[in-house]
Amino acid sequence: MSETVLITGGAGFIGRFVAAELLARGNRVRVLDSLIPQVHGEVDGSKMLSPDADLIRADVRDKAAVAGALKGVDSVIHLAAEVGVGQSMYEVERYTSTNDVGTAVLFEALIDNPVRRVVTASSMSIYGEGLYRDADGASVEDAERKGLRDGLSNWEPVDAQGRPLSPVATPEWKRPNLSSIYALNKYVQERTTHIMAAPYGIEGVCLRLFNVYGPGQALSNPYTGVLAIFASRLLNGQQPMIFEDGEQRRDFVHVSDVARAFADALVDPRAVGGTFNIGSGHDRSVTEVATELARAMGKNDLTPIIVGKARIGDIRHCFCDTTLAAERLDFRAQQDFGEGLAALADWVGEQTATDKVEQMRAELDARGLVA
């Protein structure tokens, strides 16, 4: 089925891969993107976007621009968002305006310009801490870390009796535990999609993305994905900087797999009304990932700096249970992590980037957001 698809935020890192995937499947692609400098500073999304995509440079909060972009469109992939847990904790208005108001503007425009389906990008951040099991084997959905501001020597969540909890893969049924403004924004985007779609005859789908990586990330944006931040440091001859003790575990999924998930979710009838985790199904420590990336970039001497402090809003462990996406979307990540990391290292080696990690840490420190 060939359609005209609007991708909001489609000139960004993930959006460019989604556009390419949709075009390869015979669709027509229209992109609405504001090309903000923080994201597109050294990676010009408009130049990296396929020439076969129609680019409209506009803000997702611009009602007239969004309504115009929807003319003649059959379906929408909604990616437009400010991204970054740490920055969201002090640029609250900017994040909430772009993410929540922007989504509201989109769906209000869809009332008069309905489409067949909208697939909205959500985030694993809405879970807060991932799912855990206690010493008795019971599931713990609301794990918290107490006393971060007091300087923990043990970063792991514990139960009410002080016993350690064991992290397990996080499924979609886990209750949200919103620990940052960004997480709150993404949850609002999810709920807006599901609340607004059905009453207007639109099929709504949400994908909760885990840690997406691959070539084309914004290397000079210190609030983007952790692999891009590490890559920028290494490219500039600096050691990767890791908060806490580096043993926090995450799920890293390649952007090509994520693009395929969006394209499939746009057409699979089983996706309608659903919210799905999109990850690799494999968890790795942050230190392990930083070390492997340094090795792939030929920077073995640049071992990670373990900061020993936490950022307020960060969580300890959260990695992906992929069962539902496999059952309902036939989605399984295909990209081998080692091969994907090698390709990322090759791409990074051809780039230039400004390392702004120290600036980012100073901004968080100045606002009391580093414990």
pLDDT values of the chain reduced to their tens digit, one per residue, 371 residues: 799 999 999 999 999 999 999 999 999 999 999 988 666 555 555 677 889 999 999 999 999 999 999 999 999 999 999 988 878 888 999 999 999 999 999 999 999 999 999 999 999 999 999 999 999 999 999 998 865 544 545 688 988 888 889 999 999 999 999 989 999 999 999 999 999 999 999 999 999 999 999 998 877 665 566 887 888 888 888 888 888 899 999 999 999 999 999 999 999 999 999 999 999 999 999 999 999 988 998 998 989 889 888 877 678 999 999 999 999 999 999 999 999 999 998 988 887 666 555 555 555 555 554 55
Distance CA 38, CA 355 (A): 13
Q: What is the pLDDT of residue 236?
A: 86
Instruction: Report the domain count for the chain.
Output: 1
Q: What is the pLDDT of residue 358?
A: 57
Backbone angles phi, psi at 145, to 5 degrees: -105, 120
Instruction: Give the CATH number for residue 173.
Output: 3.40.50.720
CA terminus-to-terminus distance, the chain: 52
Q: What is the pLDDT of residue 234?
A: 85
10 Å CB burial of residue 350 (0-12, 13-18, 19+) is exposed
- For β-strands 117-123 and 139-140, DSSP reports them as unpaired
Distance CA 220, CA 353 (A): 5
Q: Are the C-beta atoms of 201 and 115 separated by less than 8 Å?
A: no
154 falls within a domain: yes
Q: What is the pLDDT of residue 369?
A: 47
Distance CA 278, CA 257 (A): 9
- Which range of residues forms the domain containing residue 265? 4-218+252-282+316-335
Which segments of the chain does DSSP mark as H helices, in order? 13-24, 37-40, 45-48, 63-69, 85-88, 92-96, 102-112, 181-197, 226-235, 255-265, 286-296, 323-329, 337-348, 357-366
Q: Which two tokens stand for residue 66?
A: 């969004």
Catalytic residues: 182
Q: Which two tokens stand for residue 187?
A: 């949850």
Q: Are the C-beta atoms of 184 and 178 separated by less than 8 Å?
A: yes
85 falls within a domain: yes
150 falls within a domain: yes
Q: What is the pLDDT of residue 96?
A: 97
Q: What is the pLDDT of residue 175?
A: 95
Q: What is the pLDDT of residue 46?
A: 63
Backbone angles phi, psi at 12, to 5 degrees: -80, 180
Q: Which two tokens stand for residue 320?
A: 């992906």
92 falls within a domain: yes
129 falls within a domain: yes
Q: How many helices (H) and strands (E) does the chain have?
A: 14, 15
10 Å CB burial of residue 99 (0-12, 13-18, 19+) is buried
226 falls within a domain: no
241 falls within a domain: no
52 falls within a domain: yes
Q: Which residues, 6+ apart, have CB-to-CB distance to 153 below 8 Å?
A: none
Distance CA 313, CA 95 (A): 15
Distance CA 219, CA 41 (A): 9
Q: Are the C-beta atoms of 22 and 29 separated by less than 8 Å?
A: yes
Quote the pTM value. 0.91
Per-residue burial over 256-294, b = 16 or more CB atoms within 10 Å of its CB, e = otherwise: bbbbbbbbbbbebeebeebbbbbbbbebbbbbebbbbbb
Q: Which residues, 6+ apart, have CB-to-CB distance to 31 below 8 Å?
A: 6, 7, 10, 11, 15, 19, 49, 53, 54, 55, 56
